Chains A and B, each alone.
Chain A
Amino acid sequence: MSQQTVVQLVFGVMAALSLGGAMGVVMARTVFVSALWLILSFVGVAGLYITLGAGFLAVIQVLVYVGAISVLILFAIMLTEDVMGDEHPNNGQVGLAIILLTPLIFLLGKWGFTANWPVKAAAILPRSGLSVDAATAAALPGALKTGDAFLVPDSVAYLGRVLMTEHFLAFEVVSVVLLVALVGAIVIARD
C-alpha cells in the first residue's frame, strides 16, 4: 500500500499545482503574473499525465503549452500591455459568473463521481508483460482470460503507429490546420 500512498501523494501535488495555478490565473491583477500562474497550471497538468502513464503527452504538454503557447502569450503581453498591472482586471460580471458556475461545478462533479464508468480496467494499468490475474479477468468480461499477457505497448511508438493508421486523417488535417493558422497569424500580425 505504500506505493499507493506515494502515487496518491504525487497526484495530490499535481492536482494542487494545476488547480492552484488556474486559480492564480483568474485572481492575479497583472496579466503577466496571470500568465506565470498559467504556466504553473500547465506544469501541474503535465504531472497528471505522468501519473496516468502518458509520458509522451506530458512531454508534449510542456513543450507546446509551456514552451510555445505561454511564451506566445508572454510575448503578446510584452508587445502590448504597459508593464504595470490593471487595478480592475475584471468586468462587471463576476457575481453573475459565480452564480452561473457554482451549479456547473456541482453538476460536473456529479457526472464524474456518480456515473458508473466502466473503470474495471483501472487495474490494467500494469506494465507490459504481466499476466492477467483472476480479478482483472472477471472485471473484463469476455475480453481477457486469466493468464493472457497484457500488451500495453510502448506508448510513444504505439501512438505514432496509430496516428499513421487509425487516425491518419486527423493527423494530416492537423498539419493543414497548423499551416493555415501560421499563414493567418502572419497575415494579421505583420506590420
Chain B
Amino acid sequence: MAMIPLWWYLMVAAGLFTIGLYGALVRKNAVSVLMGIELMLNAVNVNAVAFWRYVSPTAKAAAGADRPVGDFVVGMDGQVFAVVVIALAAAEAAVGLAMVIALYRSRRSFNLPQMDQLQG
C-alpha cells in the first residue's frame, strides 16, 4: 500500500525535465540556459531518489540479485547517484558561470545571439 504512487514522482520529474529543456532551448541568455539545465538535473535526481525508495530492493531480487536480500536492506544506488549528480551540477555551474563572466568581460553581453564570432 503506497501512500503516494511512484508514478506521481515520475510525473513531477518528467515535468521538471521538460520545462528545463524548454528553458534551455528558448532562452537567449546564457545564465537562463544554465538554469534550465539545473532544472533538468533536478528532474534526474527526483527520478533517482524515487526509484531508490520504491524499486531498488525488488529489482535486485528479480535480477538474480548481486546481493542477497536476507535481512532487508535498501540498496543505496539511487541516493548515491543523486549525490553524484548534485556534485556534478555544482561543478558544472561553477565552470559555466566562470565562462559567462569571462565572456561578459570581453563582449559586455551574455546573450547567445551575440556569440557569432565563430562561424564556418
Contact = CB atoms under 8 A, between A and B. Distances in A.
11 contacts: A26-B23, A76-B101, A89-B29, A89-B32, A91-B26, A119-B6, A125-B3, A135-B1, A139-B58, A152-B74, A177-B91
- Classify chain A's interface size: 35 or more
Contacts of A191: 105
B58 A57 contact: no
Nearest to A4: B3
* Most chain B CB atoms below 10 A, which of A35, A68, A118, A182: A118
Contacts of A101: 18, 21-22, 25
B71 interface: yes
A140 B71 CA distance: 13
A154 B107 CA distance: 51
- Sorted from nearest, which 8 A-B pairs have the closest CB atoms? A112-B10, A108-B14, A181-B91, A122-B2, A189-B98, A185-B98, A26-B23, A80-B104
B29 to A, nearest CB: 6
Interface string A12-28: 00010011001101100
B36 A26 contact: yes
Interface string A106-126: 001101110001111111110
Nearest to A42: B42
Given A48-B46, A181-B94, A79 B18 contact: no
A37 B93 CA distance: 17
B99 to A, nearest CB: 6
B100 A80 contact: yes
Contacts of A76: 31, 97, 100-101
B71 A151 contact: yes
Contacts of B92: 181
A57 B76 contact: no
